[in-house]
Amino acid sequence: MSAQPDPAPPARIPVLATILVALAVLTMIGLGIWQLQRRAEKEAALALAASNPGRPSITFPKLPPVEPDMLFRKSSVLCLRVVGWQAEAGRAADGTTGYRYIAQCPTGAEGPGALVAIGVGQRPDADIAWNGGRVTGWITQEPDHRALLSRLLGHAPPLRPMLIADRAPDGLKALAPPSAQDVPNNHLAYAVQWFFFAMVAVIIYFLALRRRGRAQTP
């Protein structure tokens, strides 16, 4: 009887690679859980902000972040002059949409200045006939253009305070008052993304192990 060949030894699992993948997956799961916690915090903050428009007027904040007890409160800003404009998609008080014009204003000899959303126009390059003055309105935050990855990791810089003017200069429509419904709460979506990344990492690793095992099989 001829001798049977020895069975091939099982493929060895790379210890270091396994540890690194496990740490990466645990980190992504932890970030997903953290985003779920932030979602609950954001919901509580928005519930507070929804009642703020009816509260007394306060001083406009000079620096970020805008705390929940300040969001949507009435305030005022003295824009000494306009040093720059930016146009973003926006909605007027009459329900029409267009371009929301945001003025960059110094408020003193030093300091960060202020952002003032002054009104809504129909063109992104309109010549705005307004160069500063006392503005009353509601405290909100600048448009969010932060990178998605920085927001996922929680490293994004805080959004600067911005005043939504309650009146518009000639040629523009008054802006719609701010609403808690306009503030996105994306933390659930961020959490789902982290859990998805963790699942994909596990699947890719097991496929790599399977391919490695086949390559080692004589």
CB within 8 Å of 145: residues ≥ 6 apart: none
pLDDT by residue (tens digit) across 198-216?
Answer: 999 999 999 988 887 777 6
At 88-108, the pLDDT tens digits run: 999 999 999 999 999 999 998
Quick one: pLDDT at residue 43? 86
Q: Per-residue confidence at 6, pLDDT binned at 50, 70, 90?
A: low
DSSP state of 140: E
Cβ neighbours around 180 below 10 Å, total: 18
State residue 91's pLDDT score: 93
Residue 150 binned pLDDT confidence (cut-offs 50, 70, 90):
confident
How far apart CA 150 and CA 135 sit, in angstroms, is 33
Confidence of residue 32 (pLDDT cuts 50, 70, 90): very high
Q: Range with the lowest mean pLDDT among 8-12, 21-25, 207-211?
A: 8-12
Q: Averaged over 140-160, what is the pLDDT? A: 86
Q: At 48, is the pLDDT very low, low, confident or very high (cuts 50, 70, 90)?
A: confident
- Determine the Cα angle at 69 with ends 98 and 47, to 5°: 70
What phi-psi label fits residue 114: left (phi over 0), alpha (psi between -120 and 50 degrees) or beta? beta
pLDDT, greater one: 58 or 68:
58
Give me the mean pLDDT over the 70-96 stretch.
94
The average pLDDT across 14-34 equals 91
Q: Does the pLDDT of residue 2 top 90, yes or no?
A: no
Higher pLDDT, residue 84 or 148: 84
**How far apart are alpha carbons 209 and 14 in whole angstroms?**
9
**DSSP-assigned states of every residue in 146-206:** --HHHHHHT-PPPPPEEEEESS--TTSBPBPPP-GGGS---HHHHHHHHHHHHHHHHHHHH
Which tokens sit at 56?
């007394």
DSSP label of 64: S
The sheet with strand 161-165 has its strands ordered as 74-79, 133-141, 161-165, 114-121, 97-105, 84-91
Q: Cα 55 to chain center, whole Å? A: 26
For 85, the enclosing helix (H) or strand (E) is strand 84-91
Instruction: Name the pLDDT band for 11 (thresholds 50, 70, 90).
Output: low
